[in-house]
Amino acid sequence: MRTLEVALAERSYPIHIGAGLLDSFPLAEQVRGNQVMIVTNETIAPLYLDRLTAQCSGLQCDTLILPDGEKFKNLNTLETLFDALMAKRHSRTTTLIALGGGVVGDMVGFAAACYQRGVDFIQVPTTLLAQVDSSVGGKTAVNHPRGKNMIGAFHQPRLVLIDTDVLATLPERELAAGYAEVVKYGLIRDPAFYRWLETNNDRLLSREPEALSEAIYRSCENKAQVVAEDETEQGNRALLNLGHTFGHAMETATGYTHWLHGEAVAAGMVMAVHMSARLGWLGPELESKLSTLLTTWKLPVTAPEGMTPEQFMDLMALDKKVQNGQLRLVLLRQLGEAVVTADYDPRALRQTLEAFCGV
Ligand code: NAD
Ligand code: GLY
């Protein structure tokens, strides 16, 4: 087992990473009270729930199995969770445990932020995306019909437990979507890691456990550093959004049914790199190398068919990074050095959108 720390003074917590931790990590010892509620979904429960409940003997251990899917990441599902906590008389010293991907993790985290004005929670992420991104950093939320992740809170977990073995059952497309976020860390702040990813791509594609474990460790290390420096995204945490402004526009334009989030991020990162090159900040090589790398994972590297530059502009105007009417974008000054800026030539943005929409 390898351990990292998210250093946030009294809210600091460890991230434990290792094979087989669901069976071997003494989870009950990390719980402050004597009650836990493990929340998961109907896909993950038959695979892993028993193994986690076995770690909680000696505690009042209740479980809740939610339906699977982003469309259930809403206030109605949260209500079901609060009902279960009340029915089983969970007190302020209870601990909620999220066993699942980012959907379960974000929802359970937000429930923990709200229940009795805040209780402990533990993340046990089971997708690559959740292991390298969403389980670390305390962003929690549910969706509103008018917008994704619009109702939420910053609430840090007490512990993140990453069992790398669970990736064995993850569908290929979900693994690739998580891989896009892994590449992101290399691009924005860790060029040595980016090169490591290029060199070890075949090992990662074939799910070699040591390679996956190293990629997860180095991703979490980067994320933990960013979060420790800027917990509530007043500054550099926004750099984690490389490719996301373009990506969100593509997700919205395609009704959230065409592409997974990580797939849209993949194409969005290529667009951000392309635009950085148009601005003269990067040479052309990175875009072609990145596209080649992402394509080996069957990730998209261009805009969805039929999408227009005008559609992009309309949708990007709603981005959370818009300030005083100006669209700030995460761009690369060079490999490993990202900036969030509105100080770019708008023609480079327009030309980028045209190039990716095939206009
Ligand atoms: P997800 O939670 O929907 O999981 C993807 C699919 O994989 C689901 O069907 C799930 O049941 C299944 N699954 C999970 N683990 C499995 C396993 N080990 N074996 C087999 N199947 C498994 O999707 P996700 O990509 O993990 O998360 C996406 C969510 O994360 C979005 O809601 C997004 O907003 C959120 N997110 C949050 C943050 C954050 O910082 N909080 C960051 C990025 C994304
Ligand atoms: N996933 C972006 C963040 O945690 O800030």
pLDDT score for 86 = 98
Phi, psi (rounded to 5 degrees) for 270: -65, -40
Of 134, 242, 115, the C-alpha closest to 188 is: 242
**In this structure, how many other beta carbons lie within 10 angstroms of the beta carbon of residue 103?**
23
- Write out residues with Cβ below 6 Å of ligand 1: 41, 43-44, 47, 68, 70, 73, 100-104, 106, 126-127, 129-130, 133-134, 137, 139, 149, 166, 169-170, 174, 177, 261
Phi, psi (rounded to 5 degrees) for 339: -135, 150
Measured in residues, the chain has a length of 359
Domain map (residue ranges) of the chain: 2-169, 172-357
Residue to substitute in 15, 237, 261 for testing ligand 2 pocket (most ligand atoms within 8 angstroms of CB) = 237
- Is 133 near ligand 2, meaning CB less than 6 Å away? yes
Question: Which atom number of ligand 2 is nearest to the Cα of residue 226?
Answer: 5
* Residue nearest to ligand 1 atom 24, measured at CA: 102
Report the distance separating Cα 293 and Cα 179, nearest Å: 11
Residue to substitute in 219, 241, 244 for testing ligand 2 pocket (most ligand atoms within 8 angstroms of CB) = 241
pLDDT score for 163 = 98
What is the mean pLDDT, run by run of 10 residues, along the chain of 359 residues?
98 98 96 98 98 95 97 97 98 98 98 98 98 98 88 98 98 98 98 98 97 98 98 96 95 87 97 98 96 98 96 88 87 97 95 95
Question: Which atom number of ligand 2 is nearest to the Cα of residue 181?
Answer: 1
Question: Which atom number of ligand 2 is nearest to the Cα of residue 137?
Answer: 4
CATH architecture designation of domain 172-357: Up-down Bundle (1.20)
Q: In this structure, which topology does domain 2-169 adopt according to CATH?
A: Rossmann fold (3.40.50)
Residue to substitute in 42, 66, 129, 135 for testing ligand 1 pocket (most ligand atoms within 8 angstroms of CB) = 129
Taking the mean position of all CA atoms in its chain, how far away is CA 210? 21
Give catalytic residue positions.
117, 139, 181, 223, 233, 237, 241, 244, 248, 261
| Closest ligand to the CA of 174 | 1
- Is 240 near ligand 2, meaning CB less than 6 Å away? yes
Residue 64 pairs with which residues in a beta bridge?
39
Residues 6 or more apart in contact with residue 107 via CB below 8 angstroms: 39, 66, 73, 77, 78, 81, 98, 140, 142
Question: Which atom number of ligand 2 is nearest to the Cα of residue 223?
Answer: 4
Distances (CA, A) of 317 to 270, 303, 312, 328, 349: 20, 17, 8, 10, 13
